[in-house]
Amino acid sequence: MLVANNWKEYEIIDASLGEKLERWGDIYLLRPDPQIVWNNGNLLEKYKDKIDAIYYRSNKGGGHWENLKNIPTSWKIHYKNLTFNIKQMGFKHTGLFPEQAINWDFMIEKIKNSGRSIKVLNLFAYTGGATVACLSAGAHVTHVDSSRGMVDWCKENVKDSGHEGEMIRYIVDDVLKFVQREIRRGNKYDAIIMDPPSYGRGANGEVWDIEKNLNYLVEQCSQILSDKPLFFLINSYTTGLSSYVLENILKLNLKKYAGKISCGEVGLPIRENQLILPCGIYGRWESNE
């Protein structure tokens, strides 16, 4: 388990009965989480004076926010020298997955220690947590997502982190189609990051199914790796998918490169009782440099 325990402006305060109380800067949110099956008391009763907003899941799918206090439509939190804009979204999200900080630290260290110019491709790149991290380490980043709204959000994070300029390229497109065009163009990347959803649709209605499409996408990505790749990272939040599946895919598709492969879970500490909340899985290939 890789645990993101270096946050100052984010923390899980407590977790119980399918809910977690989180502090996002000065804002306290109560959100559902299916991994929390233990009983540590009723969080709404325990922290009723502290909670700013609650996300209620609907039995019919989706859900809604109830703001108990006056909350800004957007606010900022920081991780080291990175800045992120937080917003209340549908389906309980806030635009950031704090557990990924452990992977940001890995990327930053690898890029800085490489001693060379690094080109990074970030696929299914969302609001750009990994993009901002790689930019901060001095890499050139191509940020690809099929949602223009998410790409625009990434632009906010990049600007507020002080990394606007020629080091970043934004692409609104279907990930697989973009990779195949890069193959034809002969473009190469030293590092590839992807956070594929379980299911999704591309910019023009292309259907994505992680079980059917992930291995093929990684195989296509292997064709745009440089002669000296630095790392290849796959994150997943797909229920039931083992991290060893990601490891196996990397072993099969990156076998010509010398390096090491690891896999496992990422998680966050819970302040109240020192438990660790599992938040997703990763598979990682990295060079020996």
Encode pLDDT of 267-286 as tens digits: 999 999 999 999 999 999 99
CA distance 240 to 233: 19
CATH topology (fold) of 2-73+86-92:
Immunoglobulin-like (2.60.40)
In the chain, the amino acid numbered 83 is T
Q: What is the tens place of the pLDDT at every residue in 199-237?
A: 988 767 788 899 999 999 999 999 999 999 999 999 999
CB atoms within 10 A of CB 50: 14
Q: Which pLDDT belongs to residue 61?
A: 78
Closest CA to 193 of 130, 243, 132, 151: 130
Q: How many CA atoms lie within 13 A of 109 on its CB side?
A: 9
Give the residue range(s) of CATH 3.40.50.150 domains in the chain.
Answer: 98-286
Q: Which pLDDT belongs to residue 203?
A: 66
Beta-carbon contacts of residue 281 (< 8 Å; ≥ 6 apart): 235, 236, 237, 241, 242, 243, 246, 263, 264, 265, 266
Q: Which pLDDT belongs to residue 121?
A: 99
Give the residue range(s) of CATH 2.60.40.1180 domains in the chain.
Answer: 2-73+86-92
CA distance 89 to 188: 35
Closest CA to 3 of 265, 273, 236, 282: 265
CATH topology (fold) of 98-286:
Rossmann fold (3.40.50)
Helices (H), ranges, the chain: 43-46, 101-114, 129-136, 148-160, 175-185, 210-222, 243-253
Beta bridge partners of 189: 225
Residue with tokens 């703001």: 67
Instruction: Give the mean model confidence (pLDDT) for residues 109-130.
Output: 98
| Whether this model's pTM surpasses 0.75 | yes
Q: What is the tens place of the pLDDT at every residue in 78-101?
A: 999 999 999 999 889 999 999 999
202-206: Cβ within 8 A, 24+ apart:
202/146, 202/173, 202/174, 202/175, 202/176, 202/177, 203/146, 203/172, 203/173, 203/174, 204/174, 206/146, 206/174, 206/176, 206/177
CA end-to-end span of the chain:
23
CA distance 22 to 13: 6
Instruction: Give the mean model confidence (pLDDT) for residues 98-116.
Output: 98
CA distance 257 to 6: 32
Cβ-contact 43, 19 below 8 angstroms: yes
